[in-house]
A and B are shown apart, each in its own frame.
Chain A
Amino acid sequence: MTSLLRALALLLALGCAGAAAAQDFAGLIAALPGGSYADRAKVVKDLGLTGDPRALVVLRALEADDLKVLADGTPVIVNDKTGAAVAAVDGSDRGTPAADSLDRVKVNNAVRRALRSAIGMLTLRDPDPARRLAAARDALKAADPDQIEALDAALAAETDAGVAATLAEARAAAVLKSPDAAGPDQLAAIATLAARGDDAARAALTPVAASAKPDLAKAAQAALARIDEAQRFWGLAQNLWYGLSLGSVLMLAAVGLAITFGVMGVINMAHGELVMLGAYTTFVVQQVIRAEAPGLFGWSLVIAAPLAFVVAGAVGVVIERGIVRHLYGRPLETLLATWGVSLMLQQAVRSAFGPDNRDVGNPGWMSGAFHLGQMQITWNRLWILVFAFAVFAVLLMVLKRTPIGLQMRAVTQNRAMAANMGIRTGRVDALTFGLGSGIAGLAGVALSQIDNVSPNLGQNYIVDSFMVVVFGGAGNIWGTMAGAFTLGIANKFLEPFAGAVLGKILILVGIILFIQKRPRGLFAVKGRAVEA
């Protein structure tokens, strides 16, 4: 309140407005307390149209219930903490009147609406473009013909292109409501709004579509149809985005599994727990940073990623050397043994960190969202998508361009032959398992940004990851990518019709039916060797 008062005083000191305007302003202020609610709403509206910055202060005070009337009928703004009062019209000091000597200037819903609209009009001149944009959106929603002039003035002064566009749309909406606007003007307004193409535009156009003027009605109907189409498109785009985002998460979680399954034929049931270890590594890194070097928080994920890779990868190598190695050629037993590992890892984490969710924060660059057309994209999801593709690309490079990748592929295709060629298959197995596990750790870093970090984290992804691998076809990471994104997108497109849970069930049933047709997945390795 104090800062408001100071601003008011400053404005007065500048002696900003001309005499007539001042007269007008003073008259409106004086008229504010009197009359019915309807009169008050009218005065509020007029104040908004003055474009006078002093009016903003008064109207905000009215909105905050700080505008009172002294016994002599002078409207004053009272500081609700100190009780000090200043005259509403010129900010002159009126002492600290006793509370019971003051009358409230009451508002009802109609006045409140007028207030919001008027404050919005006045905010159109605010120095902060974000606020102006918000005010322009309000004006668009209000679609008040009386605001046209003020909008024109604001439009003339506007420097920000985005705000100007919204202002133009707000003006168009107002013009459409105006009974005395010219026909061509209104047609132009319809075009402007159709280009905007969202719910606000639809709200402004809908009454026009039923207009008595046939050309106007027709144009509005056409515009509405265009908006419908645009909204369908953006709805689709938004769904697609959700699907891509889910797909990227699934891909991160499943690609490591695909490597261990594809190369070694090993079902690693502890894969989900390795993802969880990655997430807990992120948590620990953030704890250390919070305690030791808060300034580095923005870098926490960048620091956590390699650590998570190493932690999960090392655990993976231990699992391989200690257990899986002894069970090659017995995939079902491997499945059971690694399930045992997963139980132990879960309990270990539960003992160390407790059973509850742990708070992993989003660094600044991971939080918030932006709009693309009519769809909203959150930064964390976008970065995870980028990260998923980066991991995939690096993995592809490792498999195709490095000696160890070559050895891995050799072992995948013919283990016995690879061994005869002098490849130490044991070492390759350990490294492959480590690589797959390390990627699980990386997935954990990403998941810590969008999901609860708890000992059950891995369990939530394991079935889905398996579905991706089964669907995509083991032994082919392109298949994993295709599988992950197909399932992700299918899931998100089913959700609006079937609901989240039923959608997921449908997907599972779909996969079970799918492997009827292609028992070895989308990208099956074909040939006689496999069929035998």
Chain B
Amino acid sequence: MIDRRMGIFLAGLFVLAVVVPVGNLALAGQPVPTYLVALIGKYLCYALLAVALDLVWGYCGILSLGHGAFFALGGYAMGMYLMREIGDRGVYANPSVPDFMVFIGWKELPWYWWGFDHFALAAAMVVIAPGLLAFVFGWFAFRSRVTGVYLSIITQAMTYALMLAFFRNDMGFGGNNGLTDFKDILGFDLAQPATKVGLMVLSALALAGGLVLARWVTGSRLGKVLVCVRDAESRTRFLGYRVEHYKLFIFTLSAMMAGVAGALYVPQVGIINPSEFSPANSIEIVIWVALGGRGTLVGAALGAIVVAAAKTVLTGALPEAWLYALGALFILVTLVLPTGVVGALEDTLSRLRGTPPRKEAKA
């Protein structure tokens, strides 16, 4: 089931998950600084998010411009747990409500915060909240056969609406500032390098798990139906497949995966705020997948890591150049590399071997 390119990637991931902890914690002179550990962890979360998007876009042709919303919802679910974990160590030392609620004069936890002091509930909500949103949204959108750019635009509107909502203080999610100042997770101090290493390794595991799951789903007969939907939706219906159910399944699964990515992301960057919902963020995910090659899973993950790393480097060194570079990337990939780097590479390789190129995703 696991093909060669995924095998290589998973092996690389394994090496990373061994080398980084050793380099940070065990070796003298700390060849891997702690900030780099957190950074790698962040990239791995992005990679998982990209795999989630690739599932719906690469295999089912649904270009979601709102996947950032699912990522952010997962992040908020985790953030809520981390906020409750602070307890009375906040600035206002109020054990029953988080600081930002004290600040806006709330005396009690709103009902939707109940239970978030239990990690199990928070962990469940990490997948339930984005999954539920995706299910409800998808149920409406797919049932009425909204497709193509129309669907893309309303997914964008969805994340935009959520951004506006989360900016409101009386939503009870910290408004503008979001959730931050976390102290620890399951009793582990978030400031400790060991915790950071642990989270990074967890992210690597989650990415590997996500890849294998995605590979299993896309390799199954259901995965083949998804590709049918992508290439000839109407024909698929005439074969008796209820296309909207398939879309709903993969959209919801993908949203849950994005939620997990968001949940791992938040403790590593230490903050979640409404800007994660911004439409621009969601479109950036798309370019990761497009660059790596949609419908390749591994390509999507690689694309995320490469673009995110380039962003870190460029915004540090030449802040003005970043948006030019990102913009140019969007244009070049769509014009020159429609199958992405991985797709183009494989086409070239198979041409060299004399076999006809695999026909890849069409938009």
Contacts and interface: CB of A to CB of B under 8 A. Distances in A.
Establish whether A and B are touching in the complex (CB under 8 Å).
yes
B9 interface: no
B143 A333 contact: no
Nearest to B338: A333
B130 to A, nearest CB: 17
Q: What range describes how many residues of A lie at the interface?
A: 35 or more
Interface in A424-465: 459, 462-463
A323 B140 CA distance: 34
B150 interface: yes
B156 A340 contact: no
Residue of B140, B330, B338 with most partner-chain A CB within 10 A: B330
Interface string B39-72: 0000000000000000000000001000000000
A335 B150 contact: no
B127 interface: no
A332 interface: yes
A332 B326 CA distance: 17
Contact of A470 (B150, B161, B327): B150
Given A333-B338, A336-B334, A515-B146, A347 B157 contact: no
A262 B161 CA distance: 25
A401 interface: no
Contacts of A296: none
A511 B154 CA distance: 9
Interface in B125-175: 137, 140-141, 143-146, 148-150, 152-154, 156-158, 160-161, 164-165, 167-168
Interface in A328-358: 330-337, 339-344, 346-348, 350-351
B186 to A, nearest CB: 35
A336 B286 contact: yes
A505 B156 contact: no
Given A331-B363, A505-B165, A512-B137, A339 B330 contact: yes
A100 B200 CA distance: 80
B124 interface: no
Contacts of A504: 161, 164
B354 to A, nearest CB: 29
A337 B149 contact: no
Contact of A347 (B158, B290, B324): B324
Residue of A327, A330, A337 with most partner-chain B CB within 10 A: A337
Contact of B330 (A337, A501, A517): A337
A339 B290 CA distance: 13
A181 interface: no
Contacts of B286: 336
Nearest to A467: B157
A81 interface: no
> What is the predominant secondary structure among interface residues of chain A facing chain B?
helix
A326 interface: yes
B143 A515 contact: no
Contacts of A327: 334-335
A505 B277 CA distance: 14
A505 B158 CA distance: 9
Contacts of B326: 340, 343
A332 B157 contact: no
A335 B161 CA distance: 20
A331 B149 contact: yes
Interface string B294-338: 000000000000000000000000001011101111110111001
A337 B156 contact: no
Interface string A206-245: 0000000000000000000000000000000000000000
A337 B328 CA distance: 8
B144 A509 contact: no
Contact of A344 (B161, B324, B338): B324
A101 interface: no
Given A339-B330, A340-B331, A463-B156, A516 B161 contact: no
A504 B168 CA distance: 12
B92 to A, nearest CB: 26
A351 B149 contact: no
A276 interface: no
A512 B327 contact: no
Contact of A511 (B144, B157, B167, B280): B157
Given A331-B149, A344-B324, A515-B144, 11 more contacts: A323-B335, A327-B335, A339-B327, A342-B327, A343-B323, A350-B320, A351-B320, A502-B165, A508-B161, A512-B137, A512-B154
15 contacts: A330-B338, A331-B149, A336-B287, A339-B327, A344-B327, A347-B320, A462-B279, A466-B157, A470-B150, A512-B140, A512-B141, A512-B154, A515-B150, A519-B144, A519-B146
Of all A-B residue pairs in the complex, the 10 with the closest CB atoms, nearest first, are: A340-B330, A344-B327, A343-B327, A347-B323, A340-B327, A332-B363, A508-B161, A340-B331, A516-B144, A337-B334
